[in-house]
Structure 1
Amino acid sequence: MSESLDRSTKINMLTEAVVRRLCEKLDKSTDKGWRKLGEIVANERRFKVSSDDLEMCSLKVLQLEGSPSRMLLRLMGERGCTTGHLIDYLQMLGNCDALQCLKPSALQIVVQPQSVALLSGHKLHLSCHAVGKSPVQYQWFKTKEEVPNSFSPDLVISPVHLKDAGFYICRVNCGESCEFSQWAQVDVLNVDTSCGPSYHTVEGQLKVVIHPQFQRLNIGDNLQLQCGAVGRPIPRYQWYRNGVPIPNATKRKLVIPHVMQDQHGSYRCEISSSTERMWTNEADVVIDARISIQISGAMECTEDDVYAIGGGSNDFFLNSVPEQLYATDKVALLIGNLSYQNHPQLKAPMVDVYDLSNLLQQLNFQVVSLLDLTESEMRNAVDEFLLLLHKGVYGLLYYAGHGYENYGNSFMVPVDAPNPYHSANCLCVQSILKLMQEKETGLNVFLLDMCRKRNIHDDSTPNIILRVTANIVFGYATCQDAEAFELSSSGFTNGVFVKFLKKRLLDDEKITVVLDRVAEDMGQFDATRGKQALEIRSSLSERRSLSDPILPGDSADPAHTQRRQWAKAHQLPESMCLSFDCGAQIKLGFAAEFSNVLVIYTHIIKKPEDMSFCQAQVTDFSHDLDVDPKEMNRETPEETGIHFLSSSLPQHCLYTRVSALQKLREELVFTVCLQGTFTSMADDPIHWMKNINIGKPLIARLDLHRDMRRNSCMQTCLMPHSPCHSPGPEHCPYLHQGLHQPQDYSRLSPQQQYLDIHEHVEGATGGCGDSFYDNLSQPRYERVYDSPGGLSSSPNRVSIPIEAPEDINELQTVFISSLQLQQQ
């Protein structure tokens, strides 16, 4: 153990990095973890660790420390335990991974590269320095490509150009050891000569170099404003109109398609870093009420000019111009189910919902994005969505998760669906459509990213009478009796459908044209060609587009109040500054990853000069919420499970991810605990507590946890077993005949279990589930087979044929026939 730390070093003198790694190893191990270590120490009797102490350690997982191992090490350190003693105990325990944490690393990166924004033509300088036991070698990468001749700890590009913008990382080698630095983003701004050369970069200083400019537009034009700042780290942006922040406007460029008269005003952008904050100049945006008209490509005039040209009558000219279509409002409900209780887990729905949410918000949709909903939560979310629909509204429903299709009706499977599930356990899409039709909506769009295989356990025939209307578009991720696939990857990737949909969704085209192009793109994807094809059903007779502008209706209509309630699902708690008696101040901030996932972060903004250590953590959350104590108060967003907001969150904070907000029954109350040590006092930290109440954040305000308070979408399905709750065995007698049993996937060939997909662009290199096959995709459905190799039906049960057009009843046939089937 000569390579280990000094054996005489007290445990409480170990660095935080060493303690954190050590606790992670001891917390995760079951047979060689912290409890077994505590028993060994207790048997030694040297440090007086009792059974009561071990019980106290086990309870700490629910409190501030979040780690029983950390509490045990603290007790041992307080009672004189040294590193030598700990090494001996870990040897007795046989935990080699924990022992390795006490050995000095052969390679350590001491200077990490920092993100930077700078002007084109200036010098880019990134640094990465490491120390090791032997000579250290460096290699820089831009994304996945090596940067030529970049073998120095300093990467210098002079002059830097727009093409040099991107993400950089450094690989450091020392003998057989290899480490990667953190990623550094480089943003290169291009400005005219009037402000470019006159500015000389000052390291770390934030400076605005691009200001938004005055705009005069006509109704229906696209508004584009941009700004920019240089500095290290890369600054954050937030656009304002008339002093009010614009939701989701956090990029350097602000684009608002098809502006309306009420979007005029004064625009400016707040630019900030972790230590600085400044504003751009204000830019006035004037929107004229006149609409430009192009006549036969020969001349251009406006409505004011038509009378003179037409010799006293403007009817001909106005009627020859295509009518601009409007929505009175645009609302979207996105549901992604991935963490199923009784069925295979999925990965892509989380990524798909996040990407579509951002795109639809750019199209001015009011979006509510939800993950992992139970049956009652799904029904209540749909009911809230239906309340927003009225004449002229564009309504979009996207679902990703397990699903099936019987007799022309599609069913979405909640995360708590039993195994096997039936129609009464799921939500019928056609029943939702029936209710949407009654609202006289301007456009109904269903994007169903799920499998459409037949469910042999469900022989019910829903009696759903649909009207023939001309405002419905179905985008099925796959064809009838086929699966929809998600790419298997060790990282986060989209499902096959959204992989191509997100590239087209912002196109200013009729929605069916957009989906046609997505179908064509999917048809060129070798991995799923012949296995998954987009199917489009449309009864749309007008050029309705998701990018159509909004022309609000009467604000006194009954749906106005409900729209404001729906908007509350987007409202975050306000950030707050907390002051403690010791003189320290912290910022408590909030962000939303989804409408039911809240991110809480704490940042020290002031501490007394004699305080050597200061940290603020959050704890004591309601048991209703899905908060893992071991993933709270982490130093990076990724450690807490935050994968999509890491670039927009402030740095040097502690982060906590709070999910399943729809289950919150009371106001969200938690504790902020500040702990600190003073140079003039002992090493034991001192704690200060503050209780915080932030009310009901985001989707919690809609109380989706209640038991199906209206059951609207269920009541439209007049099935033999459609009570307000899922049927029990008395409603499904065939459950007693051997169908309610776990599926035996081992009976299926690998070709039946998985579809082999390798996607180089998306980096799909991982396995899928517990299979030993690599680079595979997983179908989004519950695998049930009526064959000798799978589950078989009861001998007394009538065999149900695979769905064919003649299976649909007469009324259903009339409706389906009215839809134009567009297929690749």
Structure 2
Amino acid sequence: MSGPVRSMVGSVPLSRLAEPLLRRLSELLDRAAPGKGWRDLAQRVGSHGRVRLSPLDLEQCSLKVLEPEGSPSWSLLKLLGDRGCTVVELVEFLQALEHTEALQCLSHSGIKIVVQPDSQAVLSGQVVKLCCWATGHPFVQYQWFKQEKEVPHGNSPELVLNPVNVNDSGFYICRVNSESSFVFSQWAELEVCDLKGTSHGSLVGLPENKLHICVQPQPQNLTVGDALVLECGAVGNPIPRYQWFRNGFPLANGSKNVYMVTHVNVEHQGTYWCHVFNDQEDQDSKKIEVVIAWGCVYYLVERYAEASLLPVIQPLFEAEEDLTDLQRPGLQEQSNHRSVATDKVALLIGNMSYWNHPQLKAPMVDVYELTNLLRQLDFKVVSLLDLTESEMRNAVDEFLLLLDKGVYGLLYYAGHGYENYGNSFMVPIDAPNPYRSANCLCVQNILKLMQEKETGLNIFLLDMCRKRNEYDDTIPILDALKVTANIVFGYATCQGAEAFEIQQLGLANGIFMKFLKDRLLEDKKITVLLDEVAEDMGKCHLTKGKQALEIRSSLSEKRALTDPIQQTTASAESLARNLQWAKAHELPESMYLEFKCGVQIQLGFAAEFSNVMIIYTRIVKKPPEIVVCRAYVTDFALDLDVDPKEANKGTPEETGSYLVSKDLPKHCLYTRLSSLQKLREHLIFTVCLHYEYPGIEDKMDERKEVNVGKPLIAKLGLHHGFKNNNYFQTCCMANDSFHVDSSPLTTKYYIPSHHQTTSCPGIYHPNHICSDSIRQPEACSCNRSSRILASRHEVQNYSSPVEKSNVPVETTDDTVELEFLLSDNLRFSKQP
């Protein structure tokens, strides 16, 4: 606290407190727990305060217990008040004692704010007033804050900014003080729109607080790889909100006034506009065209998803090849001194919800974050959660179709696993207990198949345990790998050891991914990058001596994940690769449904993973005579196993979707469809509309059936049985020539006994505690909060958990988040 407010509040003596409040404080101190009573308060005052208390003073207070209604605490408070102790000093002493009840008693206020400040968007140069009026004026004092900083001279009910400028944009709050208490107003957001020197023009004469678009989006002519930035600015009160559209359909991440795509492709071409609205009115910006140059043939490849059209597209593709160097002038020179890839593709698999084995927690976040990072490096990424054996084998088949000569191929796996005779095995979610190699996928055999594609780089990131499987006595068949200089294995742990994942409330990473994601975008040779990740992991006290990254590599060239893509040929394989990847990532287009009653709803779709989709419904038009209106989706195919209790929720988190909630439009009903690979036919469901008219007790309803085809990975038919049961069991022997940079370590996983699994599909579950006695390690050096680890190693005596509970992760509006983060700081660092 500073300035006139502190001098005013700090000088209020304790004797000025109302008698009922002093009585209440006395009762709390008289019956307080040891360490928080009146004697502890007196000791704190005597040793740290400016008021001095003699032993005789304390004895007189103590003797009050002999009186019928005597109170030592009352006597002490009166004594402190008489000797000039202030309210703020008493609060500091109570804070030191951690006496929360007494602090709450002091902070309880009869102050009532009757006028709250409003959020608003205004033009630069205007006069802005933020108002906060409380009962008791003028016997209360005001202090305005911008974020956590006091506003100079902001000591009146009205905060006037004249003229306002763009630097005044932000969040404001007002603290109202009385002699002994205070309250905060609600947060108010101020947006200041700068017209960059142009006149206000048509804005002159507009009614005050009228919604008006003052900054219109501008047409864009871009080339593939450029950044797209569209801006729309509006003024009004209540503060305007935004929703961007392309070709008539809302954009999932287009809820801000600026819409941005860091690297455009031809698919981003189209007609854009922004819908601006608040609680009272709405407007559309002007429609503009975004043209993406370079890549007309790529545009055709993504538009025509039928393999039969490849002969038609092929000549066009070859014709464009001659123009490649001219259109990308710096690429040829760049390739002279660094490696290039003909393409970059990745398959990411995270298995968590095992049928017969311990549930895992972190693979969902690990796969999601790695997907986002690899896409920034221009990888075509297929990300899948919770696959059975046949689904994993078919997914690998589809992955191999994406590979070709010179392609960088990356396989990431997080889940249960083991290693026998130098060969690594990934465990599907339907593996029996105990499992053997016949039930699992051999990584080394996948490598052999990748080598047959003449790939430029083969990267395997295996976030799983590498313990010996005592139930698997199969002797691997010798099947030698080719001698190539393009193989890199990054094992999350050493041979014979376990891998860890962090167990905590909310969402968390595995130990390997926690450190890998911080360095993955660095422009370094892949083995150098992994070496630095290993060093980072070695500094974490939580896993020191338990888990260490092991790198095996035959890489002799300076190849990096950041290497550019240079498509030198236009083979039928490369065209098929693009078509195959595009098919696996095609979402249904957003649509609007009209009902007979006049209600219009928006039905939108968003992808969380390649096999997980979010459906959201929102009422966009409702006749005024309808008082209650709700739209929800139902009647899904049995293949998807959608739990009605977890569908049509008010927030994405309630459905189990914690990762994409910030990118979804607000005020909708959300349904999460997982395991889309199991969908055998088209996705057909029903949209139900419930509505009510005033004065009519009966609820009305209408229904519409919707067919959205096969979204995302469902197009690839991974549910079909695999052709050859022994396809991936044939493995190479362990006598490879890879260099091992780390020595084996033994590790354990930890799990809090109180932790419960979540009922949300695809969200984390607690791991079984290893049978050995485990001591909780020290806090990890990379984070001060205490963390617990859990093992990805199979435990044979596993029993499924019975009780389930959600682990919510809050997503809040900006003002709510600021209030949560800053209010405590304002209250305790600046309290009266």
Distance, in Å, in 1 between the alignment partners of 2:619 and 2:628 is 11
Distance, in Å, in 1 between the alignment partners of 2:123 and 2:496 is 55
Aligned equivalent of 1:30: none
Check if 1:571 corresponds to 2:569.
no
2:395 to 369, 374, 381: 381
Aligned equivalent of 2:381: 367
Q: Deviations over 1:112-137 (max 9, x none)?
A: 99999999999999999999xxxxxx
Aligned equivalent of 1:414: 428
| Alpha-carbon offset, residue 688 of structure 1 | 0.9
Aligned equivalent of 1:638: 653
2:595 to 576, 580, 589: 580
Aligned equivalent of 2:791: 779
Distance, in Å, in 2 between the alignment partners of 1:416 and 1:169 is 54
Q: 1:209 to 1:269 in 2, by over 3 A?
A: same
Distance, in Å, in 1 between the alignment partners of 2:672 and 2:484 is 44
Distance, in Å, in 2 between the alignment partners of 1:566 and 1:538 is 28
| Alpha-carbon offset, residue 711 of structure 1 | 5.0
- Normalized against structure 1, the TM-score is what? 0.61
Q: 1:747 to 1:328 in 2, by over 3 A?
A: closer
Distance, in Å, in 2 between the alignment partners of 1:170 and 1:708 is 65
Consecutive unaligned residues in structure 1, runs of 5 or more: 1-107, 132-137, 173-178, 289-302, 305-317, 720-742, 765-773, 791-824
Q: Deviations over 1:423-480 (max 9, x none)?
A: 2211111110010001101111111111222222223232232111111121222222
Check if 1:529 corresponds to 2:532.
no
Distance, in Å, in 1 between the alignment partners of 2:727 and 2:408 is 19
- Normalized against structure 2, the TM-score is what? 0.60
User: Structure 1 residues 189-198 or 518-527, which shifts more?
Assistant: 189-198
Distance, in Å, in 2 between the alignment partners of 1:669 and 1:710 is 32
Aligned equivalent of 2:357: 343
Q: 1:622 to 1:324 in 2, by over 3 A?
A: same
Check if 1:748 corresponds to 2:772.
yes
| Alpha-carbon offset, residue 368 of structure 1 | 1.2
| Alpha-carbon offset, residue 224 of structure 1 | 4.0
3-state SS, counterpart of residue 522 of structure 1 = helix
Q: 1:529 to 1:355 in 2, by over 3 A?
A: same
Aligned residues of 1:114 and 1:233 also touching (Cα < 8 A)? no
Distance, in Å, in 1 between the alignment partners of 2:174 and 2:386 is 38
Distance, in Å, in 1 between the alignment partners of 2:654 and 2:599 is 26
Aligned AA (1:524): K
Distance, in Å, in 2 between the alignment partners of 1:246 and 1:450 is 37
Distance, in Å, in 2 between the alignment partners of 1:425 and 1:154 is 71
Superposition CA RMSD, Å: 5.2
2:231 to 228, 232, 236: 228
| 1:113-132 correspondence runs (5 A) | none
3-state SS, counterpart of residue 326 of structure 1 = coil
Aligned equivalent of 1:717: 731
Aligned equivalent of 1:622: 637
Aligned AA (1:776): I
Q: Deviations over 1:498-552 (max 9, x none)?
A: 2222222222333223323322332333332333222222222333222333333
Q: Deviations over 1:702-738 (max 9, x none)?
A: 111111135574253389xxxxxxxxxxxxxxxxxxx
Aligned AA (1:576): M
User: Structure 1 residues 146-155 or 635-644, which shifts more?
Assistant: 146-155
Q: 1:216 to 1:590 in 2, by over 3 A?
A: closer
| Alpha-carbon offset, residue 378 of structure 1 | 0.7
Aligned residues of 1:612 and 1:679 also touching (Cα < 8 A)? yes
Aligned equivalent of 1:651: 666
| Alpha-carbon offset, residue 617 of structure 1 | 1.1
| 1:310-329 correspondence runs (5 A) | 322-329=336-343
Aligned equivalent of 2:451: 437
Report the number of matched residues: 598
Aligned residues of 2:217 and 2:285 also touching (Cα < 8 A)? no
Distance, in Å, in 1 between the alignment partners of 2:175 and 2:233 is 26
Q: Deviations over 1:657-702 (max 9, x none)?
A: 111111111211111111111125x222111111111111111111
Aligned AA (2:456): G
Q: 1:683 to 1:355 in 2, by over 3 A?
A: same
Distance, in Å, in 1 between the alignment partners of 2:376 and 2:192 is 24
Q: Deviations over 1:563-583 (max 9, x none)?
A: 413321110111121112222
Aligned equivalent of 1:592: 607
3-state SS, counterpart of residue 418 of structure 2 = strand
| Alpha-carbon offset, residue 561 of structure 1 | 2.8
Consecutive unaligned residues in structure 2, runs of 5 or more: 1-111, 136-141, 177-182, 296-324, 327-331, 734-766, 799-832
Of structures 1 and 2, the one with the larger relative CO (CA 8 A, separation 6+) is 2
Check if 1:484 corresponds to 2:499.
yes
Q: 1:438 to 1:578 in 2, by over 3 A?
A: same
| 1:441-590 correspondence runs (5 A) | 441-463=455-477, 464-552=479-567, 554-558=569-573, 560-590=575-605
Aligned equivalent of 1:332: 346
Q: 1:586 to 1:214 in 2, by over 3 A?
A: closer
| Alpha-carbon offset, residue 319 of structure 1 | 9.6
3-state SS, counterpart of residue 508 of structure 2 = coil
Aligned AA (1:398): Y
| Alpha-carbon offset, residue 602 of structure 1 | 1.2
Aligned AA (1:629): P
Q: Choose 1 or 2 for highest CA Rg.
A: 2
Distance, in Å, in 2 between the alignment partners of 1:183 and 1:491 is 27
User: Structure 1 residues 565-574 or 456-465, which shifts more?
Assistant: 456-465
Aligned AA (2:772): L
3-state SS, counterpart of residue 444 of structure 1 = strand
Aligned residues of 2:617 and 2:631 also touching (Cα < 8 A)? yes
Distance, in Å, in 2 between the alignment partners of 1:456 and 1:182 is 62
Distance, in Å, in 2 between the alignment partners of 1:529 and 1:281 is 56
Distance, in Å, in 1 between the alignment partners of 2:790 and 2:731 is 30
Q: 1:285 to 1:628 in 2, by over 3 A?
A: closer
Distance, in Å, in 2 between the alignment partners of 1:163 and 1:447 is 48
Distance, in Å, in 2 between the alignment partners of 1:376 and 1:128 is 64
Aligned residues of 2:243 and 2:250 also touching (Cα < 8 A)? no
Distance, in Å, in 2 between the alignment partners of 1:759 and 1:195 is 56
Aligned residues of 1:212 and 1:225 also touching (Cα < 8 A)? no
Distance, in Å, in 1 between the alignment partners of 2:650 and 2:259 is 30
Distance, in Å, in 2 between the alignment partners of 1:488 and 1:123 is 52
Check if 1:601 corresponds to 2:625.
no
Q: 1:661 to 1:594 in 2, by over 3 A?
A: same
Distance, in Å, in 2 between the alignment partners of 1:712 and 1:605 is 54
Aligned residues of 2:540 and 2:781 also touching (Cα < 8 A)? no
User: Structure 1 residues 587-596 or 225-234, which shifts more?
Assistant: 225-234
3-state SS, counterpart of residue 677 of structure 2 = helix
Aligned equivalent of 2:321: none
Aligned equivalent of 2:414: 400
Check if 1:688 corresponds to 2:706.
no
Q: Deviations over 1:38-86 (max 9, x none)?
A: xxxxxxxxxxxxxxxxxxxxxxxxxxxxxxxxxxxxxxxxxxxxxxxxx
Aligned equivalent of 2:76: none
Aligned residues of 1:208 and 1:228 also touching (Cα < 8 A)? no
Q: 1:757 to 1:570 in 2, by over 3 A?
A: farther
3-state SS, counterpart of residue 533 of structure 2 = helix
Q: 1:438 to 1:747 in 2, by over 3 A?
A: closer
Q: Deviations over 1:392-430 (max 9, x none)?
A: 111111111111222211111111122222222111111
